[in-house]
Every structure is written in structure tokens, then in C-alpha cells.
Structure 1
């Protein structure tokens, strides 16, 4: 099944993030807590609260270097490309978790897979407000990365409803969306729309 990831925007207070995450959880496969200004304690606390709200541990991903508490509470860890060398250590500490890594090239994708990454997020594929002024890497590079590795590759960056089909045709195993869901005016409706588009694409491949 094609995967739908949503990632926190880094612009919302914990209470707002929590309320949106709870609302969209039934429609998404993974909820990434990516809050670079938060302490590990704050991140662990909200992950625990999300679990207590009924969200499955398997849906909750912490983006960053995890503390022991996060390894206990989360269902996955996701590292930035420049920290991929930590993959073996984190896998040893958090053996039960899915460990992912962001990559931006074929070379990095192969290195991350060799180090043990279970999943890769590649981007940014299209122009996006979160990367102003930076040239997108495009569909050709996405396809090259998907062909270069055996682990699932998730496309990120400027993913809209109208381009979901294009990234899946490149071999992506799913999509990751930030503002398109977590920052949307109607997050639940947005998540449902992305889910419906992915399910339609999945039926065609």
C-alpha cells in the first residue's frame, strides 16, 4: 500500500499540533514530530500524549536524534542526511523501531541503505514554500533514487493533489506532506483527499 506521511510544520504550539495530529491520524500512515526548537523532553511528552489519545505507536515518528524516552514511546525515528552515520547506533538502541533517513541524491540514498535505513524520504521534488529560493530536484532524480535502492522511497517537497500520480509513476512508495495537511485550513479534509489520491494510484500500479 502506498504510504501517506504528514510532518509537523515547526510553526505550531504543542496543543495545536496535538489536536491536528489526533484529527488526521485515521487518514495517515505516519505522523512525524519534527520540531527543531523543542527539547527531547517536550517531544517525548507529546508523543506519549498522542499515544494516550489512541494513536497507534506504529504511526508516530520522531525526526531527530532520539533520547531513550523517545525510543520507548515512538514507533519510528527519522534522521537528516547529515546524521545518517548514526543509523547503526540508533538501530542498536531502538531495535523495535522503523529507522528512516532523508536523502537528496542517489549517492546518499545508497549510503543510507547500506547503513541500515528501513525507509528513505527524498526531496524536495517540486518547488515548495518551505525551501524558498532552492531549485527542486525534480522527478528525474526521484526516479533515479527509487531505482537505485531496494527500500521504500517517500517523495517530499511541493506534493500537491495534482502531482501525486507523477511521483508514484517514478517509483515512490508514498508521499510526505507538511503544510498541505498539518498547515491546511481543513487538515482532515486535506488528509482524506491525499489518501483518496494515493488509493487511486495504488489501484493502477
Structure 2
């Protein structure tokens, strides 16, 4: 079955984040806290509040901050090009689930060689988050999934009507940011994505 990742937008209050995440977590596989403006202390506080409200730590992935991920005991960390090297993180924290954000085949191959557990690759389709930048498209996604062995999670302009195309191109899952966090009904939207991915999994068992 394809994995369903959601990424916070960095544009919502803690109250909004907590409200949304505590209700959508049953329908998602990984929740990325992508809150670049928050300090380590603020992130730790957010994680502990989410945990107290029943959000499983094994579903939480911290963007960039290896220290916070380790201290909080969450599932993993998402590394960007400016983050610590995946190889160094894996050597020191072998149990941490490590994702690398990549934008080319070369970057994906490098992430795999460094020991990353998966790649987040995009943007696949046009999206407001990357206005003016041309999307990488399904053919590039397919080329990458054929040449690396670790799972590729597709991001960027993913909507319920194109999830299957992305999975057909070899992605092992999808990641959605504003499509869930800015939806009128985030829970309903998360359920839609979840059911599409489950249906795909059953069809391709």
C-alpha cells in the first residue's frame, strides 16, 4: 500500500496544528512537522502536546532538526540540502527513520548511498507553493523510481485525482501539504487520500 505523508505548512498557529493533527492522524502514515520558524524548545513543546493528545510518536517526523527528533523519540527526521548529512545522522542514530528531500536523480542516488530510508521527491505537478517553477512531472518521477531502490514519496500538487498516476509512475506514496492543512475539512480530505491509497494497495497486492 502507498504511504500517505502530510506536511505542516509553517503558516498555522499551534492551536490550528494541534486541532488538525489530532483528528487526521488515524488516516495518515507520517506527519511531518515542517515548522522552520519554531525554536527547538517550541517544537519539543508541540510534540509533547500532540503526544498527550494521543498522536503516536511513531507517526511524527521532524523537519531538519535531528536534535528534536532524537530528544522527543519520534519516528524520524526529514533532511533538506542544508541539513546534516544523512550518513552522519544514520551512523549516530541508526534507529532514526531518515528521509531526504531531493529534486533530481543525482540527489536521490546520493541520498540512497548515504543511507536514507526514503526520498521525498518533487514537485511533481504545478503547485502554488512553487509558483513560477516548472513541475518535474511523471516521466522524471518514473525515471528516478526505476534507478533507486529506496522508496520515493512524491510531493507537489498531489490531489485525489492524480494519486494513482503518481503510484503508477513508481512512487511508493504521496505527500500533501496545503491540500490537507488548508482544506475546508482536513479530516474529510485525509480520508479521501487514505481510501485511494488503500484501494490501490488492495488492487496491487
Report TM bin, short chain: over 0.9
- Taking structure 1 as the reference length, the TM-score comes to 0.95
Alignment of 1:55-204 (within 5 A): 55-67=55-67, 69-73=68-72, 74-83=74-83, 86-204=85-203
- Give the aligned length: 203
Aligned-pair Cα RMSD in Å: 1.2
SS of residue in 2 equivalent to 1:81: coil
Q: Which runs of 5+ in 1 are unaligned?
A: none
Q: Which stretch shifts more, 151-160 or 91-100? A: 91-100
Question: Mean alpha-carbon deviation: is it higher for 23-32 or for 48-57?
Answer: 48-57
**What is the CA-CA distance between 1:55 and the residue it aligns to?**
1.5
In 2, Cα distance between equivalents of 1:195 and 1:130 = 22
> Deviating runs (4+, > 3 A) in structure 1?
none
Deviation for aligned residue 1:47: 1.3
SS of the residue 1:175 aligns to: strand
Cα distance in 1 between the residues matched to 2:149 and 2:176: 23
- 1:30 and 1:59 in contact (8 A); partners too: yes
CA distance in 1 between counterparts of 2:69 and 2:58 reads 13
